[in-house]
Amino acid sequence: MSLTFTDIKKTSIEKINLLENESFENFANSSKIKKSFISKVEGFSINQRFYIGHIYANMVADQADIVSFIIKDKYRRQGFGTILFVKFIFTLKCKGVREFFLEVSEKNIGAQKFYNKFGFKKIGCRKNYYKTNSGKENAYLLKLQT
């Protein structure tokens, strides 16, 4: 079964929320993502027979702030994140984006390794950025210059 990418604006809002909630269940302020919000972002979901994951960003001029990037737990470490990320970066670069930004928890070593592989650099730290059920977590601010 072949992989398909769907524009995030055309992706089911229920599927987006389901994945966000199961991935960040440990995080306190989980809020419901609205269709009106998704209609303003750029990104994709990736599907085979099932929903595998998604990525989306706020794009302003030549900058993109990555808001969410998640691969469903059971599909991780199989290269899907890389496939989706490459497609996303390529597409936004074609739309004129030159700088990508994102926040990642200082405890999220797996994601940090992923971003490091793609050339993201640490440019700052945001104290107590995430509220989790076991306390607050600092975030690193990362940037990719293309």
Ligand X SMILES: CC(C)(COP(=O)(O)OP(=O)(O)OC[C@H]1O[C@@H](n2cnc3c(N)ncnc32)[C@H](O)[C@@H]1OP(=O)(O)O)[C@@H](O)C(=O)NCCC(=O)NCCS
Helix (H/G/I), strand (E/B), else coil: 27: strand
Of 63 and 65, CB closest to ligand X: 65
In this structure, the number of other CB atoms found within 10 A of the CB of residue 78 comes to 11
How many residues contact ligand X, by CB under 6 A? 19
Q: How far is the CB of 83 from ligand X (least distance, A)?
A: 7
19 binds ligand X (CB under 6 A): no
Any idea what DSSP says for residue 29?
T
Nearest distance, CB of residue 61 and ligand X, angstroms: 23
Q: Rule CB under 6 A: say whether 56 interacts with ligand X.
A: no
Other beta carbons within 10 Å of 83: 16
The answer to the question of residue 70 lying near ligand X (CB under 6 A) is yes
Q: Does 122 bind ligand X (CB under 6 A)?
A: no
N residues, the chain:
146
Q: Does 81 bind ligand X (CB under 6 A)?
A: yes
Rg (CA), the chain: 15
Question: Does residue 67 bind ligand X (CB under 6 A)?
Answer: no
Q: In this chain, which of 4, 26, 82, 128 binds ligand X, going by CB under 6 A? A: 82
Residue 68 or residue 97: which is nearer to ligand X going by CB? 68
Element (H, E) at 20: helix 13-23
For β-strands 99-105 and 63-71, DSSP reports them as parallel
Pseudo-torsion of CA 116, 120, 124, 125, nearest 10°? -40
Interface ranges with ligand X (CB under 6 A): 23, 69-71, 76-82, 102, 104, 108, 110-111, 113-114, 117
